[in-house]
Chain A
Amino acid sequence: MTMTDTAPPARPEIRFEHVSKTFGRVGATDLFRAVDDLNLEIGSGELVAILGKTGCGKSTMFNMIAGLLEPSAGKVEVSGHDPFAQFNWFRGKIAIVFQNDRLLPWRTAIENVAFGLEMLDVPKAERMASAQAWLTKLGLGGHENDYPHALSGGMRQRVSIARAFATNANILLCDEPFSALDEMTGNRLREEFARLVRENGKTAVFITHSINEALQIGDRIVVLRRPAKIAYDTRLGRDADHGAKEDIRARIQAVLAE
């Protein structure tokens, strides 16, 4: 059963329409179904936390939005376009923060932040100025010329967040970006991230397997069951009080226990 207390967004930025994704041999019985008839609409400016157990197809869904995977059935639309078939149309329109920082080890912090802008052919002076501003905004002033190996895990992840924001893409995809960090650093970065998303009016999809993280970051929480299909979909409201959050937590726990 699907529980939902959200109305469909007026102008969906991301849309899954009866999407399924299977892996394995075609025509054989050992196909693995990662996503099963998924229907989901995410509105412009929403910060949606996608929550689910490990292996429930969250990352598959994420990769389909990013255009890195093609759905086996159904239709994925981002800003009205097919992210897989029209891959290059999304240049500068989607930015990703990955689970690990994925910084280029041969580039300094500032060069890593400027990387996305370089791909967009932004002139060097302009992209370095923008990268510098984002590094400063994320508290990394003074570390511009450090190589990734000289930075801590939290600092590296901040560089990768700055890299994603620097391109000014409208859509941000985040695949458990803070899961490898200690609790304090993770909490601080989560707050910074949510603030930046809201300040800059981005549409953000945040993949996580942590209920706490989903409650802390999301305006809306979508819980997936395995294979990926919506089990619970709720909107929190930015000023949701402790009681409301605890109520949602209890519901999510019940859904995940099913």
Chain B
Amino acid sequence: MSERTLDGTSPPTPIIDGAWRVVRALAPFIFLGAAWQVASLFFPAFLFPSLVAVFWRCLDILEQWSQFVDVLYTVGRILAGLAGAFIIGAVLALMMARSKLVDGFLSPILTFFQGIPALSWVVFAIIWFHGVEFRIFFIMVLTTLPAFTFQIVSALRAMSKDLVEMVMSFRPSRVQMFRTLILPSILPEILTAWKVNLGNASRVVVVAELVGATGGVGYQLLQQQQIFDMAGALAWTLQLVFFVLIVQYILTLIENFAFRYRAISERSL
């Protein structure tokens, strides 16, 4: 006997359910692609090239090592900048959470840094430093450091006082305290900070490479602009977007694994 719901209809099968989820996930991109393709029918190729041309340019970049290495350069710069900002930010955040004096001193400086546009850091870096890689690293760190720091400080302060007391009652070592309570407590905010900063960093790195680098996606975009190659510009941009999507997906997988203990309500917000 087949299973039926209260209103007499058959429940959705897993395959239909899965397919529906894929369609929902892809729908916004299909819409964007369709709009672009329609535009390409009415405008010249140097303004709106067809998606087929863009696709072949994307494939070209992925196939040719001499081009793909530029994508890797940019990815490396983003990850190095984010890792640097994260490590420095974590140390600063721990100091700020432990001492009101340090907090009162560092908070205004970081807020001040937050107000400085990324392009200004690019200019400062070009004036101050010679090495291209160090310039980009400096820009990446300075632009993402405040967000990392504030997010970790906020997570440390939001830690449950009850749980801190409970753990303290067992007299843990500092390492045990960090491993068993602090890290799991602040991990959700750390992952959120990485997700937010990843998007910011991918935008900033392009600006930094556009002005001061001899390789990378930003440099390649400058080349496409000089030869008015819209398909190329779009293909290089998409490389960066793909990278962001892949890393976001990896972060989501980490979240799903790390936070598997969370209760899931059957009624959504």
Contact = CB atoms under 8 A, between A and B. Distances in A.
A193 interface: no
B18 interface: no
Contact of A96 (B169, B180, B261): B169
Contact of B261 (A92, A118, A149, A167): A149
Contact of B176 (A87, A94, A95, A119): A119
Q: DSSP majority for the B interface?
A: helix
A91 B166 CA distance: 13
A90 B184 CA distance: 26
A98 B170 contact: no
Contacts, number: 55
B181 A104 contact: yes
A91 B171 contact: yes
Interface string B45-67: 00000000000000000000000
B91 interface: no
Contacts of B172: 119
B170 A116 contact: yes
A105 interface: yes
A100 interface: yes
B168 interface: yes
Contacts of B176: 118-119
Contacts of B169: 66, 68, 94-96
B135 to A, nearest CB: 41
Interface in A26-67: 66
Contact of A118 (B163, B180, B262, B263): B180
Given A104-B184, A106-B261, A149-B263, A119 B162 contact: no
A169 to B, nearest CB: 9
A167 B170 contact: yes
Q: How large is the interface on B (under 10, 10 to 19, 20 to 34, 35 or more residues)?
A: 10 to 19
A102 B171 contact: no
Contacts of B258: 106
Interface string B154-177: 000000001101111111100010
Interface string B249-261: 0000000001101
A102 B171 CA distance: 16
A108 B162 CA distance: 18
Interface residues of A, number: 28
Contacts of A94: 169
A238 to B, nearest CB: 28
A90 B167 CA distance: 13
Interface string B225-269: 000000000000000000000000000000000110111000000
A152 interface: no
Given A104-B181, A106-B184, A115 B170 contact: yes
A88 interface: yes
A33 B217 CA distance: 66
A148 B262 CA distance: 9
Nearest to A167: B170
A83 to B, nearest CB: 10
A94 B171 CA distance: 10
Contact of B171 (A98, A104, A119): A119
Interface string A128-147: 00000000000000000001
B162 A87 contact: no
A162 to B, nearest CB: 14
B261 A147 contact: yes
Interface in B190-204: none
Contacts of B184: 104, 106
Contacts of B180: 104, 115, 118-119
Given A104-B181, A119-B176, A68 B168 contact: yes
A68 B261 contact: no
A87 B170 contact: no
Nearest to A94: B169
B171 A88 contact: yes
A115 B262 CA distance: 19
A105 B185 CA distance: 10
A107 B183 CA distance: 13
Which residue of B165, B170, B258, B259 has the most chain A CB atoms within 10 A of its CB atom?
Answer: B170
Contacts of A104: 163, 180-181, 184
Nearest to A107: B261
B166 A90 contact: no
19 contacts: A66-B169, A68-B165, A68-B168, A91-B171, A92-B171, A98-B166, A100-B162, A102-B163, A104-B163, A106-B184, A106-B259, A108-B261, A116-B170, A119-B167, A119-B172, A147-B261, A147-B263, A148-B261, A167-B170
Kindly list the 4 A-B residue pairs having the minimum CB-CB distance in the complex, ordered from nearest.
A149-B263, A102-B166, A119-B170, A91-B171
Given A92-B171, A106-B184, A148-B261, 7 more contacts: A66-B169, A68-B168, A91-B171, A104-B163, A104-B184, A108-B261, A118-B176
